[in-house]
Amino acid sequence: MFTEAKRAVRFVFQYFSANLQSAMEYRGAFLSQVVFMFINNLMLLFFWWVLFTQIETLNGWSFEHVMLLYAVASGAYACQALLFGGSFTLSRAIAEGRLDFYLALPKPVLLHVLISRSAASAWGDLVFSLAIFALTAAPSPGLLLAFLILIFAGGVVMTSFAVLANSLSFWLGQSEQLADELIEALLTFSLYPEGIFSAATRFVLYTVIPAGFVSYLPVRILTDFTLVHVVLMILFALGLALLARLVFYLGLKRYESGNLVVINATE
Amino acid sequence: MAVIDVNGLSKVFRAKTKEPGLRGSVRALLRPTYTELGAVKGISFAVEAGELLAFIGRNGAGKSTTIKMLTGILNPTAGTAQVLGLVPWESRRQLAYTIGSVFGQKSQLWYHLPALDSFRLLGSIYEIPHRDLAKRLDAVVELFELAEFIKTPVRKLSLGQRMRCEIAASILHRPQVIFLDEPTIGLDVVAKLKIRELIKRLNEEENTTIFLTSHDAGDIEQLCKRVIVINHGEIILDTSTSYLRHNYLTTRIVNVKFAEPCPGLRLSNAEILKHTEKGVKFRINTRSTSIEDVLGELFAQADTADISVEEPAMEEVIRDIYRRPAGEGEQDAVS
Ligand SMILES: Nc1ncnc2c1ncn2[C@@H]1O[C@H](COP(=O)(O)OP(=O)(O)OP(=O)(O)O)[C@@H](O)[C@H]1O
Ligand SMILES: [Mg+2]
């Protein structure tokens, strides 16, 4: 059990460093992407700052909260994109029969696909996330640790959600666009303060599109710590990950190695 | 014991049928109809350890599908198979440690990284201890002559160099069986020879069982002792390469040089292809005619200076097998 875990970590790490090396092959592009992402995030936040010069709070959310929200959401996204970048393109891999490669190797297919890619631009998001976090709270080591754990858990939620969305193509055939839009929606909602939504929408955001577990709940934990919320957060991340795994492997039974041949019957 | 044992293996692909237009799309979503395509239809064969076997057939015959089932990538629709005593689609991960595969049309190397980095990564995927990997890498680099370009990003390699790296990548973990699906596709003559030599050495020096598909007659002729031909998902021939070469196509071309011109030559059971003052070229079918009879007839009429008999090229033999309708010409060939 322990050696198994050690092996898995080594495996993830080796992929991670190989991905980084790949990105370094194009140092110029890498750096400009990172800088671009950083500036892009900063501009979004600037928009909120302008808004908050007009009003004090927005349904209980202050600019401080929004900054923390941005730190948490971009941190969670960075975790997904850097560690599990394969989650974005999973349905394409399914449609194009690219799972063959992973199926021929002696490692768990899902984990292997997930770590096979790393979006270099997300380093910009990570730097942004940490910088904004440093600006908001008086960053004690304890709080930083909590922050890192929370963005990792948020990253797991985002990754699991992406796996679920992308696994649809096992059943629906070519559905990359649908999956992309779902993934995009989760990220977008994670960047809005919860306060602006109605109760019904909030219900959706804690279930179907779990932005609540990517950013709202972590923000609440960081500003107003309760153990119950921490436990809830971790259980949700774990549960969603297990569900995603289950659904993926169920779908994999239907995998036909580039199975999405559509015949045009004209008669 | 057979390392590959296949019994009645079948694969039916189901493709969604879609009628044109929006209405068709909606209907396909609500009430999908499927067309079934039998890609592999109940094939059976066994391969012994150390064999070097060609698995050939026309485009779409079912070769890749068969390999995907034998490597555990695809689930079959019916039938059974064992590779090294394991059912591939049930024990996929366990089997992966002992087999290797190369799909000529897909790369398993990291495009942006040098092959050496891919090898290291594969080393950890296969959990090869560091020291063993270093030793193995040295041996493989030497055998495949990779030293010159092993540190160049794969995207900058020629196709031939890349393919050498691909095969090298598939044998790092010392598989007992490797599946090579069109390893010479797109290569020039020299690169092909190189790959063939490597495959041969792998088979001879490491006693690796090799299951090879190719559209190149040279690969089959120069490498393989046994040939299985698959057509429309069914095995139509399973025999030795030498049988194919010598006995399958029974036509022979005879070239004769005359000492004296022989304008009135008549041969009763031969088809004359060319007849000049200098010589004659004719085709006979050894199944219905004996060469001696025809030559006897020839000698009775002409004064000959030189005679040569050509066997048909392997490529022609294969073309002929593909052209025959199913069920014909196999009775005397299946061993
Ligand atoms: N994933 C798939 N979904 C549907 N049909 C498929 C799929 N893969 C293969 N087929 C069909 O199955 C048949 C056999 O295909 P296969 O790829 O095994 O042929 P092959 O012998 O390898 O051909 P080639 O020499 O062109 O590589 C073909 O008719 C092909 O169209
Ligand atoms: Mg093929």
Given a contact cutoff of 8 angstroms between Cβ atoms, the answer to whether B238 and B225 are in contact is: no
| pLDDT score, position A261 | 37
**Cα–Cα dist A206/A236, whole Å:** 10
Q: What are phi and psi of A198, to 5 degrees?
A: -75, 170
Into how many domains does chain A fold?
Answer: 1
Q: What percent of chain A has pLDDT over 90?
A: 65
ipTM > 0.85?
no
**Cα–Cα dist B172/B116, whole Å:** 12
* Number of Cβ pairs < 8 A linking chain A and chain B: 80
Parallel, antiparallel, or unpaired: how do β-strands B99-103 and B177-181 relate? parallel
Model confidence pLDDT, tens digit, residues A52-100 = 988 888 888 889 999 999 999 999 999 999 999 999 999 999 988 889 9
Given a contact cutoff of 8 angstroms between Cβ atoms, the answer to whether A128 and A72 are in contact is: no
Residue B327 pLDDT exceeds 60: no
The residue-averaged pLDDT of B261-269 equals 89
Its domain, for residue A75, covers 2-266
* Domain range annotation of chain B: 2-246, 250-311
Quickly count: other Cβ atoms within 10 Å of residue B140's Cβ: 19
The residue-averaged pLDDT of A5-28 equals 86
In the numeric block, which tokens belong to residue B232? 């429309």
| pLDDT score, position A56 | 84
Q: What are the beta bridge partners of residue B34?
A: B16
Nearest CA owner, ligand 1 atom 24: B59
Q: What are the beta bridge partners of residue B274?
A: B281
Structure pTM?
0.86
B17 and A263 in contact by Cβ < 8 A? yes
Nearest CA owner, ligand 1 atom 5: B13
Structural fold of domain B250-311: Alpha-Beta Plaits (3.30.70)
CATH fourth-level superfamily of B2-246: P-loop containing nucleotide triphosphate hydrolases (3.40.50.300)
pLDDT higher for A77 or B288? Answer: A77
For chain A, list the strands marked E by DSSP: 263-264
**Cα–Cα dist A253/A238, whole Å:** 23
Angle at CA of residue A126, ends A123 and A127, nearest 5°: 90
**Cα–Cα dist B272/B266, whole Å:** 9
Out of A22, A98, A266, the one facing B112 most closely (by C-beta) is A22
- For residue B19, the chain A residues in CB contact (below 8 A) are 264-266
Return the HEC string of B285-304. Answer: ECCCCCHHHHHHHHHHHCCE
Q: Which residues contact B218 (CB under 8 A, 6 or more apart)?
A: B192, B196, B314
Among A83, A187, A164, residue whose Cα is nearest residue A126? A83
Q: Which residues surround ligand 2, an ion (CB under 5 A)?
A: B 64
Interface list for B 129-188 with A (CB within 8 A): 153
Ligand 2 mean position, distance from CA B194 (Å): 22
Q: CB within 6 Å of ligand 1 — which residues?
A: A 256-259, 261; B 13, 15, 37, 39, 57, 59-65
- For residue B17, the chain A residues in CB contact (below 8 A) are 263, 265
Out of A98, A261, A266, the one facing B15 most closely (by C-beta) is A261
Q: What are the beta bridge partners of residue B80?
A: B7
| pLDDT score, position A1 | 66
Ligand 1 mean position, distance from CA B62 (Å): 6
Largest CA distance in chain A: 71
Ligand 1 mean position, distance from CA B61 (Å): 7
| pLDDT score, position B23 | 75
| pLDDT score, position A68 | 93
Given a contact cutoff of 8 angstroms between Cβ atoms, the answer to whether B202 and B171 are in contact is: yes
